[in-house]
A and B are shown apart, each in its own frame.
Chain A
Amino acid sequence: MELVKPGLGLIFWMTITFSIVLFILSKFAWKPILNSIREREDSINNALNSAEEARKQMSALKADNEKLLNQARAERDLMLKEANDMKENIIAQAKKSADEEGRKIIAKANESIESAKINAMNELKAQVAVLSVDLAEKVLRKKMEDRAQQESFVNENLKSITLK
């Protein structure tokens, strides 16, 4: 069979040609092609990784922001509450002091009214005393106009006085 008998010349040329092709392609074609394919794949992988990283950082940042916002909100609420408390305190205190003041004023007024009353009473008493003395004088005078009566009175009084 001519077909399955390998020709020597063809083996010779094939070996030489194939070796040269293998060398040329390995050195000048496959090396740069495979290198740049690998580089591109690496760069794509890197880009994907860094995108993932950025997304993670973004979400972390967002979470941070959320936390900060919540904190601020809580702080604001606290401040508002404190202010409210203070306001109420102040109002209560003001009320209290006003009450006290009022009470004091009332007490003072009462006191002065009392003292005025007492004074008036005293004056009245003195007036009444003077008037009664006057009246009594007048009455006495009228009664003592008679001599006999004078003497009887004096004697009566004298009797009541007991010497010790």
Chain B
Amino acid sequence: MQPNNKKIFRYLIPVFLILCYIAYSSVAVFGQHESHEATADSLTTTTHSEEAHGAEAHDANAHGAEVHEEGKVDAGKLIMEHIADAHDWHIATVGHSHISIPLPVIISDDHGLKIFSSSRFEHGHATYEGYKLEEGKIVAVNADGSINEHASFLDLSITKNVASMLISVIFLCWIMLSVAGHYTRNKGKAPKGMANLIETLIIFIRDEVAKPSIGPKYAKFLPYLLTIFFFIFINNLFGLIPFFPGGANVTGNIAVTLVLAIFTFVITSFNGNKSYWGHIFMPPGVPKALWILLIPIEIIGMLNKPIVLMIRLFANITAGHIIILGFFSLIFIFGAMNQTLGLGVSVLSVAFTTFMNFLELLVAFLQAYVFTLLSALYFGSAVEEHHHEEHH
């Protein structure tokens, strides 16, 4: 029974830590909300039930359905808020108080590094150390409270996306390291359980993506390809979980896809052989006069590849989130007009969203696969040997 007990502990410890953090932050947030509500009540009219009192004014900073004074739901704003990054991790809204985890804010400016909790901003109501939240973004403010447009500072905060990515990455490493452990323990035996599942995907990437796209030199690129595949796949799946620890839009954030695309681009460039660079800067089989025209085209083509990678993943995942959120917004838009209508629409919305979620599961895998496949193809073009060109 000893190994079994150990196993349970391995599962329990991270879960326990996460629970502790949630509990701690919830208490902290509740405390702040109480005091905040007391002082801010004169400024803000909070609705007790957003659907029932749709006509009532509502604080625009709330994360639930935004109901404005005209009785209209601003679905666009709601969706963008969900898709965009944030400095706190909103979990749920109960009545008029929001349960959210404040995340650390890290700002680097002329005065050095400033690290504090995002709860200090009180959801945009307070200014702290010369900064405040404006539309979910940190901006520098002057002494009189106006926004300082010219202040230069680096916002390196652990945002919702960073936190979600860290969680998914820890999850990914934990899975892969335990699978690796399984392999070292059961050398030469058939894989079981999680190892079996992971092995299927690993062999799929190796035999269907890396080998045919790259050729005999595939082994060198395989670790990177496996890492991006599982990284994107796991983050896509986490993005589909509607609440903590999912709910963030990591792979649907252009900064994340940008970094992934840059990694692919850098690896491609560093592994480009003579014929790869020759094709770009000395296009073979073309009169030299045309090089003036062709070289810029080739360079654009080279830079185009990572940009396409970046936009494809970002757009696909973001689009999926927007569609799902759009269906949910329909409930509140119609609900604001008429409660019964909202209930009727909710049935349709839930049905469509269920369908979309299934589709998104497919997309989650597909986009991870496509990103990996295209990266492999670019690596393949970088290491491919062209012998026939010399004869022209």
Contacts and interface: CB of A to CB of B under 8 A. Distances in A.
B255 A30 contact: no
Given A6-B258, A13-B165, A33-B180, A40 B188 contact: yes
Contacts of B203: 37
A145 interface: no
Given A6-B255, A29-B180, A37 B199 contact: yes
Contact of B188 (A7, A17, A26, A43): A43
Interface stretch (B114-122, B152-160, B323-331, B357-365): B152-160
Contacts of A18: 227, 231, 259-260, 263
B84 A3 contact: yes
A33 B231 contact: no
B85 interface: yes
B183 A11 contact: no
A22 B162 CA distance: 17
A14 B250 CA distance: 10
Nearest to A29: B176
A17 to B, nearest CB: 6
Contacts of B187: 36, 39
Given A10-B162, A14-B255, A17-B169, A25 B223 contact: yes
Contacts of A69: none
Interface in A10-62: 10-15, 17-18, 21-22, 24-26, 28-34, 36-37, 39-40, 43
A10 B253 contact: yes
Query: Chain B: interface residue count, which band?
Result: 35 or more
A163 interface: no
A137 B263 CA distance: 169
Nearest to A18: B259
Interface string B135-153: 1010000000000000000
Given A13-B156, A29-B177, A34-B222, A6 B254 contact: yes
Contacts of B253: 6-7, 10
B85 A10 contact: yes
Which secondary structure dominates chain A's binding surface? Answer: helix
Nearest to A7: B255
Most B Cβ at <10 Å: residue of A18, A33, A34? A33
B185 to A, nearest CB: 10
B57 interface: no
B227 A9 contact: no
A11 B166 CA distance: 13
Interface centre among A11, A21, A31, A37 (most CB of B within 10 A): A21
Given A21-B231, A28-B180, A33-B180, A9 B156 contact: yes
| Residue from A4, A6, A14, A15 whose CB has the most chain B CB atoms within 10 Å | A14
A5 interface: yes
B226 interface: yes
Most buried by B among A8, A10, A12: A10
A142 B355 CA distance: 176
A2 interface: yes
Contacts of A12: 156
Contacts of A13: 156, 158, 162, 165
Interface in B226-240: 226-227, 230-231
A10 B180 contact: no
A9 B183 contact: no
A3 B252 CA distance: 9
B199 A10 contact: no
Nearest to B199: A37
Most buried by A among B155, B176, B260: B176
B184 A36 contact: yes
Interface in B180-226: 180, 183-184, 187-190, 198-199, 202-203, 206, 222-224, 226
A14 B179 CA distance: 24
Contacts of B84: 2-3
Contacts of A14: 162, 165, 255-256, 259
Given A25-B227, A37-B199, A37-B202, 17 more contacts: A3-B80, A6-B254, A7-B155, A8-B156, A9-B159, A15-B259, A17-B162, A17-B165, A18-B260, A21-B227, A22-B224, A24-B177, A26-B223, A29-B179, A34-B206, A37-B203, A43-B188
